[in-house]
Every structure is written in C-alpha cells, then in structure tokens.
C-alpha cells in the first residue's frame, strides 16, 4: 500500500469516533494488516506523580478504556521530560535489555513483546504516547516506525478531541451528581431564618457576625436540638462563600467502614463495589463550607485524617495517591464535652486545639424563654404549609402560656415536634398543644380568683394581652407579633394597651 493511501485510510479510521477506545480499536484493525501488531495502548505522562497512566487499549478482542498507572524511576522521568530518548518515536525490539522496555512490558504483562512508542503532541504540547506491540523480539524496523510516525498528527488531533470529549462527559456527570446531592440537601435543611436573633440568641449572633467573614474553623457547642445547624447556615450565608456549596455531614450517622469513602471519596476499583470514581463531602465543599455535626462521634483514625485536612487543606481519595488541594471552611458541632473526651483519651488533643479556636455555645431553650413565642409562630406557619393546612389555625394564648413552663430537654427540635403533632391532630377552633404522654389541655389561669369568682373584664383582657406580649417577647406588629396572635390590628391593640395601662414596646 502506498503512503498516500495508507495515510488517508488510517486517518479516516482514527478520526471516526469521539470515543477513544472505539477510535483506537478501528485504527488497530487497520494497522495490523500493514504492520506487525498484537496490541495498541494510549498512555498519558503525569509529571505531578512521575508516572504514565494508560487510558485505553485495543487488541484482537476489541477496544476498551483502562486505568493503569505505572510509576517510573527518576532516571526514566528525566529521559521523558528532557525528550532525550523519545523525541518523535522510539523502537524497542528487546525490552528486557532496555530500562523503559522492562518496566512497561512487565507492568502490562507483555513479556517478550517488541513495541514502537509514538509521541503525540500539538503545538509543542505533550498529549500522550501510542504504544504498538507485537509479540516476539526484533519485530519492528525503522521503516515500520517511520510509517507509523506518518499518523502522528491524525492520532494527536483525534486523541486530544476524544480525551476532551471524555473530560466534558465526566464534568457533566459530576455536575448532575452535585445538583442532585445539593437539591436533596436543600430539601432537608432545617431552615435559614434564625428565630431569636434579637432575643435569646443575640449574643450568639453577635459572635457569628464577628467571625463569619473569616476562614477560621468554628466550633458550635450546645445540647441536642438547640439549632446548631441553623447557626452554621447563618455563618455560611453571611460569609464571602455564601454562593458556594454548604455541605453538611452528620458524623454519627455514617457507618464506620464508609467514613473514608463518604468524607474523602474513592477512586474506581479502590475496593469491592467501587465501580466508578466518587468525590467525597470535602471535595464537594470546595470553595464553600463543610458542616461536621456531632464531630465527637468520629473514631480515632478518622480524627487523624480530619486533622491532616485542617492542617494542609488537602485530601486523598481512597485508592488515590496524588493529594487534592481544597479551599474549604470547616464548621464543627457537638453536644458532647470534648474537653472531657480529651482527658478520657477518646478525642485527640491536637484536633481539639485545632477546632477550638473560636467556640460558640448555643444556650438551651429553657434559658431563652423569650424565644418560645416567636419560634411557635414560625413553626405553626412552616408546618401548616408542609401539611397543606390553609389558613394556619389561630392559637389559644392560654394554651401556649403553658409552653414556657416546660424545661424542653429536646430544645427547639422538641418544640417543633410538639407543634407538628398538634397540627396533625387539630380539627377546628383554636390550636392547643400536647406533648408526648400528656393530655391536651387549655390553661386558663388568671380568669378565676382564688375564691372561685370571675375576675373583672378589664383585668381578664389585661391578663390576656399580657400573655400574648410575653409569648411574642413584647413584639406588637408583624406576622409574629401579639396583634397577629390576637387577630386584631396593631393600632387597635396599642389603643387597648394604653387604655389598660400596659407598657408599650418590647
């Protein structure tokens, strides 16, 4: 076959598909009729790791993608980077006598194979190498190598397009995966609004504003259900990273054998069942914020890996060797006494010092009773929308007066559950509240004197308005004000308060 026909037919096959393994297989089928050929591989040199990575191959069984990395000794790395041996192409007919040949044929399980290595580049940019193998020694001549070298440019263009196409597909899959993941995160978020920011959480929010614009690691401490996740959301929203990912992780909810994979990701084939590459939560949080809830539940070996991430801002996927540089802000949270855990030897002291740079303690609900009213109104509106209840039921002020007397061991989460349960059971009339194990009751303190006689109307109204104001923390107008609770206009309420001698304001 003359050179022009050879070049034309080979080029058409090389450029016939954007799937690199398909193009390689079609090229191999043609070349084996012209040159000695038992297998053909495409590899890419990765200077960051000092290795060559084989990405596709073709033999008599077909073409396929592969993932095979071969770490090279320093002497061969120098040869490759200097271009001393492989400027255009290299013929190795006796690989057992050649350092490069020995490494490659051994790793690919192609002992006693001659091969031609054809370097691919576009505008002096190195793309990769085509290796054509034939079984036996001294299988290739310089004429064979020169003929294969005619196809350098078609191979380079086709492989560059195919690899770029594959990269775009992988990026699209990652984007779809991220969108799906972040959508599920948004659906499960406990809410962005910080109820009590001007009440019982005012000191907490002052600290949030003080540190939100920085990159420092923050530790949120408080009992279960106090709203640590909501505060973490607020820190992220007020930070320069507000338009980047906010990834939350419940460290106590991940099985111990999956912690590595979930947090740091894994490479394809890293373990049984790892059928594809997976990015972990840290990698998904790149340029954003990661919220590590219940950090005290991490086992000691995971604490070591987390400490390294905090120190170097780098991770390594399971089964991967090159570190991945990240830009993340870490917010940790716990309901446990980490200092006591350090003394007991169950939490690393160096990790404790690293995350305890700026601690924020969130007070329990029993210590901020002024927030119970606004929280109740907020949850009634939120849960009514979720349950399809429209309009939201009115609240019996005497019933909600009893809420402030409870100690709320489950904090805000318990209050939320009580309200949701009450809405589910609500039929008509004012809404009453029932905690688990209690009968629904309406508290009507103040309507009867100790003698059993009815109090005067003005005193009953004064008491009623006072209960509503106590419930809303003194707020009159707005959706969570006393006027809305009493279902009257704010000016009407102010006039009645003035008439009855009730102080205005919060």
Which tens digits make up the pLDDT trace of 187-243? 444 455 788 888 889 999 999 999 999 999 999 999 999 999 999 999 999 999 988
Residue 440 has pLDDT above 50, yes or no: no
Q: Are residue 287 and residue 403 in the same domain, yes or no? A: no
Cα–Cα nearest to 241, from 214, 271, 217: 214
The CATH number of residue 279's host domain is: 3.40.50.300
Q: Are residue 426 and residue 443 in the same domain, yes or no? A: yes
d(CA 282, CA 264): 6
What does the pLDDT read at residue 21?
86
What does the pLDDT read at residue 397?
64
Residue 279 counted as domain residue: yes
Q: Are residue 359 and residue 372 in the same domain, yes or no? A: no
The CATH number of residue 424's host domain is: 1.10.8.60
Cα–Cα nearest to 232, from 244, 220, 214, 215: 220
Residue 173 counted as domain residue: no
What does the pLDDT read at residue 70?
87
What does the pLDDT read at residue 179?
62
Q: Are residue 344 and residue 217 in the same domain, yes or no? A: yes
Most distant CA pair in the chain, distance: 120
What does the pLDDT read at residue 398?
64
The mean pLDDT value of the chain amounts to 83
Angle formed at CA 361 by CA 359 and CA 367, multiple of 5 degrees: 170
Cα–Cα nearest to 287, from 242, 343, 337: 242
Residue 230 counted as domain residue: yes
What does the pLDDT read at residue 17?
79
Confidence band for 281, pLDDT divided at 50, 70 and 90: very high
Q: Are residue 102 and residue 234 in the same domain, yes or no? A: no
- Domain count for the chain: 3
What does the pLDDT read at residue 83?
62
Higher pLDDT among residues 440 and 460, named by residue: 460
Q: Are residue 43 and residue 142 in the same domain, yes or no? A: yes
Most confident listed range (181-190, 443-452, 461-470): 461-470
Confidence band for 87, pLDDT divided at 50, 70 and 90: low
The CATH number of residue 57's host domain is: 3.30.450.40
What does the pLDDT read at residue 339?
93
Which tens digits make up the pLDDT trace of 345-392? 999 999 999 999 999 999 999 998 888 888 888 898 889 988 888 888
- 226 in Cβ contact with 412 (< 8 Å): yes
What does the pLDDT read at residue 155?
82
Q: Are residue 81 and residue 127 in the same domain, yes or no? A: yes
Q: Are residue 81 and residue 61 in the same domain, yes or no? A: yes
Domain stop point among 314, 335, 363? 363
Residue 67 counted as domain residue: yes
The backbone torsions φ and ψ at residue 52, rounded to the nearest 5 degrees and listed phi first, read -110, 135
What does the pLDDT read at residue 267?
85
Confidence band for 57, pLDDT divided at 50, 70 and 90: very high
CA atoms within 13 A on the CB side of 36: 19
Domain stop point among 342, 363, 384? 363
- For the ranges 98-112, 186-200, 289-303, 478-492, the lowest mean pLDDT is seen at 186-200
Angle formed at CA 234 by CA 230 and CA 239, multiple of 5 degrees: 150
User: Which tokens in the block code for residue 64?
Assistant: 């396929």
Q: Are residue 316 and residue 374 in the same domain, yes or no? A: no
Most confident listed range (72-76, 259-263, 398-402, 493-497): 259-263
What does the pLDDT read at residue 403?
81
Q: Which residue has the tokens 């006693």?
A: 112
- 432 in Cβ contact with 422 (< 8 Å): yes
Residue 460 counted as domain residue: yes
Confidence band for 252, pLDDT divided at 50, 70 and 90: confident
Q: Quick one: average pLDDT of 87-113? A: 88
Residue 311 counted as domain residue: yes
Cα dihedral: 352, 356, 359, 365 (round 10): 0
Q: Are residue 392 and residue 493 in the same domain, yes or no? A: yes
d(CA 38, CA 114): 10
- 394 in Cβ contact with 487 (< 8 Å): yes
- By residue range, what is the domain housing residue 470? 368-500
In the chain, % of residues over pLDDT 70: 87
**Which residues on adjacent β-strands are paired with residue 132?**
40, 116
Q: Are residue 359 and residue 400 in the same domain, yes or no? A: no
Residue 341 counted as domain residue: yes
Q: For residue 421, with 0-12 CB atoms within 10 Å meaning exposed, 13-18 middle and 19 or more buried, which class applies?
A: middle
Domain stop point among 143, 165, 187? 165
Q: Are residue 476 and residue 401 in the same domain, yes or no? A: yes
Q: Which residue has the tokens 């802000």?
A: 329
Neighbours of 499 (CB within 10 A): 11
Confidence band for 297, pLDDT divided at 50, 70 and 90: very high
d(CA 209, CA 239): 9
Residue 472 counted as domain residue: yes
- Ranges of H-type helices in 150-197: 152-188
d(CA 499, CA 494): 9
Cα–Cα nearest to 360, from 193, 194, 187, 186: 194
What does the pLDDT read at residue 448?
41
d(CA 102, CA 100): 6
């Amino acid at each position: 076959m003359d050179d022009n026909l050879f070049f034309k037919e080979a080029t058409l096959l090389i450029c016939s598909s954007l799937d690199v393994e398909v193009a390689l297989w079609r090229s191999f089928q043609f070349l084996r009729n012209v040159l000695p050929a038992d297998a053909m591989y495409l590899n890419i040199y990765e200077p960051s790791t000092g290795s060559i990575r084989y990405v596709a191959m073709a033999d008599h069984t077909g073409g396929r993608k592969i993932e095979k990395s071969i770490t090279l000794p320093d002497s061969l790395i120098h040869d490759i980077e200097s271009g001393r041996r492989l400027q255009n192409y290299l013929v190795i007919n006796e690989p057992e006598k050649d350092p490069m040949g020995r490494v490659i044929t051994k790793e690919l399980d192609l002992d006693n194979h001659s091969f031609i290595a054809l370097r691919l580049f576009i505008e002096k940019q190195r793309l990769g190498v085509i290796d054509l193998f034939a079984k036996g020694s001294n299988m290739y001549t310089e004429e064979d190598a020169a003929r294969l070298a005619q196809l350098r440019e078609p191979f380079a263009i086709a492989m560059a397009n195919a690899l770029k196409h594959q990269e775009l597909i992988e990026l699209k899959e990652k984007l779809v995966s991220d969108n799906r993941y972040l959508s599920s995160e948004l659906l499960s978020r406990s809410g962005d609004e910080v109820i009590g920011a001007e009440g019982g959480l005012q000191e907490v929010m002052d600290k949030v504003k003080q540190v939100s614009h920085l990159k420092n690691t923050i530790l949120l401490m408080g009992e279960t259900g106090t709203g640590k996740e909501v505060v973490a959301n607020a820190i992220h929203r007020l930070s320069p990273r507000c338009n980047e990912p906010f990834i939350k992780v419940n460290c106590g909810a991940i099985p111990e054998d999956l912690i590595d994979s979930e947090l740091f990701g894994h490479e394809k084939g890293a373990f049984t069942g790892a059928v594809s590459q997976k990015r972990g939560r840290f990698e998904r949080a790149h340029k954003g914020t990661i919220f590590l809830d219940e950090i005290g539940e991490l086992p000691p070996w995971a604490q070591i890996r987390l400490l390294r991430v905090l120190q170097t801002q780098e991770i390594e996927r399971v089964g991967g060797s090159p570190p991945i540089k990240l830009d993340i802000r870490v917010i940790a949270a716990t309901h446990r006494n980490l200092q006591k855990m350090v003394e007991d030897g169950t939490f690393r002291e160096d990790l404790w010092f690293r995350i305890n740079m700026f601690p924020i303690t969130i007070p329990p609900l029993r210590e901020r009773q002024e927030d119970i009213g606004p929280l109740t109104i907020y949850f009634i509106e939120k849960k009514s929308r979720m349950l399809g209840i429209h309009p939201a039921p009115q609240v019996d002020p005497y019933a909600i007066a009893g809420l402030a007397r409870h100690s709320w061991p489950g904090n805000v989460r318990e209050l939320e559950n009580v309200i949701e349960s009450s809405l589910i059971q609500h039929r008509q009339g004012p809404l009453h509240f029932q905690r688990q194990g209690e009968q629904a009751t309406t508290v009507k303190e103040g309507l009867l004197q100790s003698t059993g006689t009815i109090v005067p109307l003005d005193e009953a109204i004064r008491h009623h308005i006072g209960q509503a104001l106590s419930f809303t923390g003194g707020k009159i107008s707005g959706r969570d004000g006393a006027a809305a609770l009493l279902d009257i206009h704010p000016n009407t309420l102010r006039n009645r308060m003035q008439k009855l001698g009730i102080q205005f304001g919060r």
